[in-house]
Structure 1
Amino acid sequence: MPSPGSAQESAPASRRSKITPERAQELYNAVLDLLRESGYDSLTMEGVASRTRCGKSTLYRQWGSKPELVVAALHGTRQTLFSDIDTGSLSGDLHEVAHAVDAASGQDTALMHALSHAALQNPDLLCALRSTLITPAIAAIDAMVERAVRRGELDPDNPATDYVAAQVLGIMRARPLLEGRYADDGFLTRFIECAVLPVLGLPSLPQAPRESGS
């Protein structure tokens, strides 16, 4: 009769999967697509199995539960939305953030909204959501502000510099609740020019001249 210790040691082996990294990526992408389409509550292991033509038993053997699968999918598809932005000015950087948010509204923004409520009930899911979507975005915007301070654009003692990321990411979250729409390029651009740049003491970007006849 095996000892309790040997049973515990053999348990991880039962969760070992023969799924290839490429197949796992397909599964992760399907999970996130289903989350964007229907939300966390509607996501089921059966639905993932059907979408990916994968056996439900395989999913349970590898990931154990829906929360574990979603956490793995978040970590397995981690992206940095703003990390490549560097225009040489904070105003230009923040305008590029508005463009990037608009382009990703059906991807990262939709995913964040789909998971926000569920994450508050599940510490592992909340940790994964923060580490894969929220923290990288905050870090990228903070880096833009730090570069602006080093260039002399911003007064390092301006207290508003600590809240740029909270303003931008907060309005992304708030607009769907207030108006039922994502914060698109036009909305975010106006918000940045009216509510973010003025408190930082920065001018808005000059408007490009309109072509004659337009």
Structure 2
Amino acid sequence: MRPVTRPAFATRRRTELFDALVTLFLSEGFAHLTLDEIATRLRCSKSTLYTLAGSKEQLVQAATVHFFRSATELVEARVAATHGARERITAYLSTVGAALDPASDQFMSDLDAFAPARGVYEQNTRIAARRVQELIAEGVATADFRDVHAAFAADLVATVMVRIQQRVVRENTGLDDADAYRELAAILTAGIEA
């Protein structure tokens, strides 16, 4: 049996719709929007939305996955183009912050209130913490960082990332997400530098 392949146009159109959906959700949130309103805003039919997902809830979850997948590609490309342990961690955390910068307060509130989307965010936070742990371990191995407990440092980063996601950092400090990630990168790398 031959594998089913989609025409390039279908894949491109699907990506364009998800990109537009993510832009809409980041800007305005999603809890208040109906499928009819989403279709109108994206200038497509409701049946087109059903090709992306079977329900509004599944559409929100799929858009959240799309957002984090795209953000991860951007972050990893930035890290790959950077040299030096400190610079790589700074690039990683700063780019995470920049990727989240367009997220409105409404989007973050809706995300926190909708368990499937919140779960995607939490999973990505755990993945990011593991990635920071890898970057720290690489820096320790090259003697760019002092011999620190990489898992502890990553756990510390994950805790702060969750507080950023929940807008606690913004409420307590006034820092927006991008600035909070830059500060986290500066404090972390200065604290573990050899």
Q: In structure 2, which of residues 44, 47, 56 is the aligned counterpart of residue 54 of structure 1?
A: 44
Deviations along 1:71-108, whole A, 9 cap, x unmatched? 2223345121532414222x323332353245324346
Amino acid paired to 2:83: T
Residue 88 (1) aligns with residue 84 (2): yes
| 1:43–1:106 CA distance, 2 compared to 1 (3 A) | farther
Tell me the TM-score normalized by structure 1: 0.64
Deviations along 1:113-146, whole A, 9 cap, x unmatched? 25531333x4xx3443345x43442233122112
| 1:154–1:116 CA distance, 2 compared to 1 (3 A) | farther
Deviations along 1:44-66, whole A, 9 cap, x unmatched? 21222012221124424652211
Write the mapping of 1:56-71 to structure 2, written as runs, cut at 5 A: 56-60=46-50, 63-71=53-61
Shift in Å, 1:172: 2.9
Residue 129 (1) aligns with residue 121 (2): yes
Amino acid paired to 2:172: L
For 1:28 and 1:168, how far apart are their aligned partners in 2? 29
More helix by share: 2
For 1:111 and 1:87, how far apart are their aligned partners in 2? 36
Tell me the TM-score normalized by structure 2: 0.69
Higher relative CO (CA 8 A, sep ≥ 6), structure 1 or 2? 2
Stretch moving more, 70-79 or 48-57: 70-79
Amino acid paired to 1:183: D
For 2:57 and 2:89, how far apart are their aligned partners in 1? 34
| 1:171–1:97 CA distance, 2 compared to 1 (3 A) | farther
For 1:55 and 1:159, how far apart are their aligned partners in 2? 48
Number of the residue aligned with 1:32: 22
Mind listing any 5+ residue stretches in structure 1 that lack a counterpart? 1-18, 204-214
Write the mapping of 1:147-166 to structure 2, written as runs, cut at 5 A: 147-152=138-143, 153-157=145-149, 160-166=152-158
Amino acid paired to 2:45: G
Mind listing any 5+ residue stretches in structure 2 that lack a counterpart? 1-8
Amino acid paired to 1:178: N
Number of the residue aligned with 2:130: 139
